[in-house]
């Protein structure tokens, strides 16, 4: 409970810092401060075998969703059908990248990456689709800065709260047999899905 409180307070401070940086540096960060800090916190808190793997998965999802906006601007109609096609392509490509990496880039981190650019840029894109080339880089860099600060707060300022920093616990053969049994708890399956572990 104390660890969760420390981590939450670190994220709260960084969300406020992001907004403060916005006014000092003249950046447009206010509308992505909470989004970026929260998603960066998720990226930092969810355990995965490789820290670089989840960061790379995030960046892959981010880039694919950004390219999805480019596809919408260049080729697809600005309609529900066009948005549906773009969403399908982006999520399918994230799944392909995850499969090609053999789980080293977890699916969840790719989806978090896609959500970050969509949350930061969708409303701007909807107002001016033709301005994709000029406006999307600003949205991408601002939300990446916010996510980076949120990630930093959970990994550097509060490393004790991050399960990925704890030493691995070796399981006994009885635990491994229990996990592989068909009667194993559903929570174990959910944990494996979240951490990217394969059974």
CA separation for the pair 106, 52 (Å, rounded) = 11
Q: Which residue has the tokens 């650019």?
A: 117
pLDDT digits (tens, 9 = 90+) for 48-57: 888 888 999 9
Number of domains in the chain: 1
Predicted structure pTM score = 0.72
Q: Which tops the pLDDT comparison, 157 or 117?
A: 117
Q: Which tops the pLDDT comparison, 11 or 93?
A: 93
Q: Residue 86's CB: how many other CB atoms inside 10 A?
A: 20
Instruction: Note down the domain range covering 131.
Output: 2-164+172-195
**pLDDT for res 187:** 43
Rounded-to-10 torsion of CA 79, 84, 140, 161: 140
pLDDT exceeds 70 at position 4: yes
**pLDDT for res 20:** 76
pLDDT exceeds 70 at position 194: no
pLDDT digits (tens, 9 = 90+) for 118-163: 998 988 898 888 889 988 998 898 889 888 888 887 876 545 444 4
CA separation for the pair 153, 140 (Å, rounded) = 20
CA separation for the pair 7, 5 (Å, rounded) = 5
């Amino acid at each position: 409970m104390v660890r969760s409180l420390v981590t939450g307070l670190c994220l709260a401070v960084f969300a406020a810092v992001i907004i403060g940086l916005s006014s000092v540096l003249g950046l447009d960060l206010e509308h992505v401060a909470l989004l970026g800090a929260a998603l960066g916190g998720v990226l930092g808190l969810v355990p995965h075998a490789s820290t670089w793997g989840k960061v790379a998965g995030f960046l892959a999802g981010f880039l694919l969703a950004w390219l999805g906006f480019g596809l919408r601007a260049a080729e697809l109609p600005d309609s529900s059908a066009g948005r549906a096609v773009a969403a399908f392509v982006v999520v399918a490509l994230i799944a392909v990248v995850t499969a090609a990496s053999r789980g080293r880039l977890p699916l969840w981190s790719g989806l978090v990456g896609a959500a970050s650019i969509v949350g930061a840029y969708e409303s701007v894109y909807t107002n001016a689709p033709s301005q994709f080339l000029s406006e999307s880089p600003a949205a991408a860099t601002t939300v990446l800065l916010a996510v980076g600060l949120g990630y930093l707060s959970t990994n550097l300022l509060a490393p004790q709260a991050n399960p990925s920093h704890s030493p691995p616990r070796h399981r006994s053969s009885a635990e491994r047999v229990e996990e592989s049994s068909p009667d194993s708890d559903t929570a174990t399956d959910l944990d494996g899905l979240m951490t990217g572990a394969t059974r």
